[in-house]
């Protein structure tokens, strides 16, 4: 499991925006009959703003992943995504979210391959010995296809929620061009890409084989990824849920190119890339399982090899509707969901305290709170949603917060006591259940 050796950044506590305080007040009424759940929600819903958000002098926002002194593109978006629907009438939230989008675009321009960045050009790195093209702003340079997708998701959601398009400045368009160039290159990784990454720390999941270039892949139209959302190396480098996320992101970028920039050439380019990715997913990413029928694989190499699993991180197979790639009732998704929540998934665990999906990123037998939250967010019945909330409520080890992984037989054994993304995803699930009137 990951360890870091640098001190935490001092994060001044921000005053809560009015819209966020209003949600907490609403919870006082709607969750009064469940005091523990109310306390969990009060702790988790504002956790990003209270512990991990820093307003910078350049009018950008820096958000810690939690117990690591860096900002992951992926994590920082999911840490604030539950605030976006509240931002339409709240200037403070708009400032925070727009500042984060601005910082993301600047980071992507610095290095589109990097997954995590420093607060300043302080030359801090997760591992100083990584063999790749590091820079002083980059905390880690694991190329994870999903990272940039989250940046696009936040910008698009913010635009739709607030109607504000001032985030789409010249810098944003420069970042868009960098993303298109990156993804076109990585469609043909073996032929076109100069990206390499190796780490000599004795952990096989932390380094890419074949001198950092990865195992061979066939052209499919999908986009190559070095690492999974868990920051673990891919077995086969076309990660299917990440490519689904990329397809959705390309459609969102196309909408921005059409309605904001009025750039017809870019619209056409994005549409062509999206079509390639979607075709690749449906042609190469589906596995005919003897028990579950047609399911989406987690990874493939385009040569007929597959990784049949699901990982607790987002994007994963469980989160396909959350990403916007299919509806919850899509038949292949439903088959895939049944597979992911079965012992056929090598990272699905059942214990005396809980059952759910874990990850190779944590020890065997550890279930992730994020996986339980996502199972609830993508459930097709209120009964399953409520069951997930009850399981989350019962497995916090009386800490008042969510964690990374916990032992299926003993929730008091867990990893990461300060993991803000997990808190935010749980808060998103509970808030949705509150608004739907099922709690």
Output the pTM of the full model.
0.96
Domain range holding 44? 18-435
In 3D space, the residue among 204, 261, 254, 258 whose CA is nearest the CA of residue 233 turns out to be: 204
Each residue of 196-233: pLDDT tens digit?
999 999 999 999 999 999 999 999 999 999 999 999 99
User: Is pLDDT at 12 greater than 70 in this prediction?
Assistant: no
pLDDT in tens, 24-60: 999 999 999 999 999 999 999 999 999 999 999 999 9
396/40 Cα distance (integer angstroms):
9
Give per-residue pLDDT as tens, 286-300.
999 999 999 999 999
Task: Note whether 65 and 139 are within 8 A (CB).
Answer: no
| CA 415, 421, 427, 431 torsion-angle sign | negative
Domain assignment present for 209: yes
Residue 423 has pLDDT above 50, yes or no: yes
Alpha-helix runs per DSSP H in 52-166:
73-80, 91-110, 145-162
Helices (H) and strands (E) in the chain, counts: 15, 15
| Over residues 254-264, mean pLDDT | 98
What pLDDT, on the 0 to 100 scale, is given for residue 4? 38
What value does the mean pLDDT of the chain take? 95
Residues 131-177 pLDDT 10s: 999 999 999 999 999 999 999 999 999 999 999 999 999 999 999 99
Placement of tokens 């000599």 in the chain: 200
**Burial of 211 (C-beta count, 10 Å sphere; 0-12/13-18/19+):** exposed
For residue 276, being part of any structural domain is answered with: yes
pLDDT tier for residue 65 given thresholds of 50, 70 and 90: confident
The answer to whether residue 174 sits within a structural domain is: yes
- Asked, for residue 5, whether it belongs to a domain, the answer is no
CA gyration radius for the chain?
A: 21
Q: What average pLDDT does range 50-71 have in this prediction?
A: 92
pLDDT at 5: 41
Q: How far apart are CA 151 and CA 116, in angstroms?
A: 12
Considering the domain boundaries, does residue 8 fall inside one?
A: no
Within a domain: 411 = yes
Residue 1 located in a structural domain: no
On whether residue 3 sits in a domain, the answer given is no
Q: Across-strand partners of 306?
A: 300
DSSP 63-80: E--BSSSSEEHHHHHHHH
Stretch 358-383: mean pLDDT, rounded?
A: 97
Say what the pLDDT of residue 332 is. Answer: 98
Q: Name the strands in the sheet holding 71-72, side by side, starting at the edge strand that comes first in the sequence.
A: 71-72, 116-117, 138-140
The percent of residues in the chain predicted with pLDDT above 70, rounded, is 97
- Average pLDDT of the residues in 353-382: 97
Gap between the Cα atoms of 369 and 76, Å rounded: 17
Q: Would you report the helix, strand and coil content of the chain in percent, each value rounded to 5?
A: 45, 10, 45
CATH for 245? 1.50.10.10
Of all residues in the chain, the percent with pLDDT exceeding 90 is: 94
CA distances from 44 to 41, 79, 391, 407, 419 (A): 5, 10, 16, 21, 10
- pLDDT confidence of residue 7: 45
Q: What are φ and ψ of residue 421, in 5° steps?
A: -55, -45
| Number of folded domains that form the chain | 1
Average pLDDT (269-280) is 98
């Amino acid at each position: 499991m990951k360890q870091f050796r640098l001190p935490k950044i001092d994060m001044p506590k921000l005053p809560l925006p009015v819209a966020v305080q209003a949600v907490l007040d609403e919870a006082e009424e709607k969750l009064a009959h469940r005091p523990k759940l109310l306390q969990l929600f009060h702790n988790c819903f504002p956790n990003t703003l209270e512990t991990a958000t820093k307003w910078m002098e350049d009018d950008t926002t820096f958000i810690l992943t939690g117990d690591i002194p860096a900002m992951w593109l992926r994590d920082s978006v999911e840490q604030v995504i539950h605030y976006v629907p509240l931002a339409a009438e709240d200037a403070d939230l708009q400032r925070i979210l727009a500042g984060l989008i601005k910082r993301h675009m600047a980071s992507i321009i610095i290095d589109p391959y990097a997954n995590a960045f420093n607060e300043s050009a302080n030359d801090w790195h997760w591992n100083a010995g990584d063999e790749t093209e590091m820079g002083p702003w980059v905390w880690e340079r694991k190329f994870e296809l999903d990272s940039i997708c989250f940046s696009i998701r936040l910008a698009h959601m913010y635009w739709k929620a607030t109607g504000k398009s001032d985030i789409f400045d010249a810098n944003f368009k420069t970042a868009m061009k960098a993303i298109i160039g990156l993804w076109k290159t990585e469609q043909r990784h073996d032929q076109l890409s100069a990206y390499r990454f190796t780490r000599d720390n004795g952990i096989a999941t932390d380094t890419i084989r074949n001198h950092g270039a990865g195992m061979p892949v066939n052209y499919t139209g999908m986009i190559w990824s070095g690492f999974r959302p868990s920051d673990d190396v891919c077995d086969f480098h076309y990660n299917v849920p990440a490519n689904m996320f990329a397809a959705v992101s390309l459609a969102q970028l196309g909408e921005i190119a059409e309605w904001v920039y009025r750039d017809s050439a870019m619209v056409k380019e994005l549409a062509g890339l999206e079509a390639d990715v979607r075709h690749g997913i449906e042609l190469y990413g589906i596995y005919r399982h003897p028990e579950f029928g047609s399911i989406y694989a987690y990874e493939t190499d385009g040569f007929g090899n597959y990784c049949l699993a699901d990982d607790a991180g987002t994007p994963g197979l469980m989160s396909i509707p959350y990403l916007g790639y299919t509806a919850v009732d899509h038949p292949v998704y439903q088959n895939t969901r049944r597979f992911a929540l079965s012992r056929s998934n090598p990272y699905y665990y059942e214990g005396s305290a809980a059952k759910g999906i874990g990850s190779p990123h944590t020890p065997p037998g550890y279930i992730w709170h994020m996986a339980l939250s996502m199972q609830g967010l993508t459930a097709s019945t209120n009964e399953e949603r409520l069951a997930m909330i009850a399981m989350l409520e019962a497995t916090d080890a009386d800490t008042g917060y969510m964690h990374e992984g916990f032992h299926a037989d003993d929730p008091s054994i867990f990893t990461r006591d300060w993991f803000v993304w997990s808190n935010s995803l749980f808060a998103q699930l509970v808030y949705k259940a509150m608004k739907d009137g099922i709690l």
